[in-house]
Amino acid sequence: MKKNPLEIQHLTTSDYKAAPFDKVILPLGSLESHGGHLPFGTDAITAHMIALDIAAKVPGTAVLPAMPFGVSEHYKEFPFCISLQFETEIALIRDVLESIYREGIRKVFIMNGHDGNISPIEVASRSAKVAHPDFKIVSLDAWWVLVGSLVPEGFFEVWNGLGHGGEGETSICLELFPELCEMQYAKGVTPKLPPYVDIKWRFSELTNTGASGDPTKGSAEKGKTMRKVLVDTAVSILKELEKKGWDYRSDEVK
């Protein structure tokens, strides 16, 4: 294995003393079906690889190992699903944040790859922030939603690229790890959900393929563009925070 100085799990104590970092990225994922064409670890692998892209462009940043499991109960009708309870996920994230703080790191970027982690992120990070007012925690909860606002109109062909294993997620997988994708099995169902409200679905109510949206519209070319705009946006935000010493307060409350 080749050592990557951006990956905390590769570093030794000597490495850290010689080149300490002051910011960390915490990638969060899951292990669950993403249809017949994408790997079970899609969310964790994607979050980790994008996190490494970001860290490479923001000096003083290193990446924690991706958390491979998440809250996936709503996907369990499709194999292979390993799920944590909400309370477990909250506790894990909070424990990691507390450990980061104990190590003297005050700046954290959470790069999430899975919808079921969004609520636990909110609970755990709010709790850590209240406990430690000087803790700076920034989270990208749903990159798959953000990317739709960053690409040109009409970039995606179906459902604005949304879907679990759909056009957008398939595209970024084909860019990041094409060797793990099996597009001959790509098949999804685009749900017809009512607007404005959030339906609390079980995934088997939306699709019979393990994927939603239209993965057959995915392409590595789209994924390359998605990767760039996501990374560029995150890097821009982090660099702007750096310029301000991560002080995002309004002038009136300083």
pLDDT tens-digit profile of 127-184? 999 999 999 999 999 999 999 999 999 999 999 999 999 999 999 999 999 999 999 9
Over range 49-74, report the average pLDDT: 98
Give me the percent of the chain exceeding a pLDDT of 90: 99
**Assigned domain for 11 exists:** no
**Assigned domain for 117 exists:** yes
Spatial contact of 211 and 164, defined as CB atoms under 8 Å apart: yes
pLDDT band of 38, cuts 50, 70, 90: very high
**Assigned domain for 13 exists:** no
Query: Where residue 78 sits, what CATH number does that domain have?
Result: 3.40.50.10310
**Assigned domain for 3 exists:** no
Domain containing 71 equals 21-246
pLDDT at 108 over 90: yes
pLDDT at 83 over 90: yes
**Assigned domain for 7 exists:** no
The Cα angle at residue 22 between residues 18 and 23, in degrees rounded to 5: 130
What's the total number of domains in the chain? Answer: 1
* Residue whose C-alpha is closest to residue 66's, from 81, 79, 55: 55
Over range 62-70, report the average pLDDT: 98
Backbone angles phi, psi at 110, to 5 degrees: -95, 120
**Assigned domain for 12 exists:** no
Over range 184-192, report the average pLDDT: 97
The whole-number pLDDT of residue 3 equals: 97
pLDDT band of 10, cuts 50, 70, 90: very high
pLDDT at 70 over 90: yes
**Residue carrying the six token digits 């292979």:** 80
**Assigned domain for 65 exists:** yes
The whole-number pLDDT of residue 254 equals: 84
* Residue whose C-alpha is closest to residue 105's, from 96, 116, 118: 96
For the chain, the average pLDDT equals: 98
The whole-number pLDDT of residue 135 equals: 98
pLDDT at 220 over 90: yes
**Assigned domain for 120 exists:** yes
